[in-house]
Amino acid sequence: MPKKILIADDDKGFVRLLGVFLQKQGYEIVIAHDGAEALQKMQKMSPDLVLLDIVMPNVNGYAFVLEVKKLKDLAQVPIIVLTYKEQLEDIFKLEGVKEYIVKPFEHKDLLEKIQKHI
């Protein structure tokens, strides 16, 4: 059974490209375009890993991380932040985020980090 990755990002073009790349690598992809939708899908589908943008409508990435930490069954799911905001890495690492990748990035670098945590 393929490992399931939740991609939470409001940039639909970015999500589409990333999703195709990860599917070709053998992962099952679940997509959410805002933080509230990501929380719902997280609880419903129990992904093996989350790729998370910070700036999203409804619930931002930081609030998403704090909410996930409250979910006992899902609090240990690895989260990798993918963002343009370099300056927030320390804050997210304090909250337990496994990796923090600044966009743009190389797909092979992301794949290495996914494989490290999944």
The answer to whether the beta carbons of residues 73 and 57 sit under 8 Å apart is: no
Model pLDDT for residues 3-52, shown as the tens digit of each residue: 999 999 999 999 999 999 999 999 999 999 999 999 999 999 999 999 99
The pTM (predicted TM-score) of the whole model is 0.94
The CATH number corresponding to 4-117 among 3.40.640.10, 3.40.50.620, 3.30.450.20, 3.40.50.2300 equals 3.40.50.2300
Domain borders along the chain are 4-117
What pLDDT, on a 0 to 100 scale, did the predictor assign at position 1?
85
Model pLDDT for residues 44-89, shown as the tens digit of each residue: 999 999 999 999 999 999 999 999 999 989 999 999 999 888 878 8
What pLDDT, on a 0 to 100 scale, did the predictor assign at position 43?
95
3-state SS, one letter per residue, for the chain: CCCEEEEECCCHHHHHHHHHHHHHCCCEEEEECCHHHHHHHHHHHCCCEEEECCCCCCCCHHHHHHHHHCCCCCCCCCEEEEECCHHHHHHHHHCCCCEEEECCCCHHHHHHHHHHHC
Token pair for 58: 């409804």
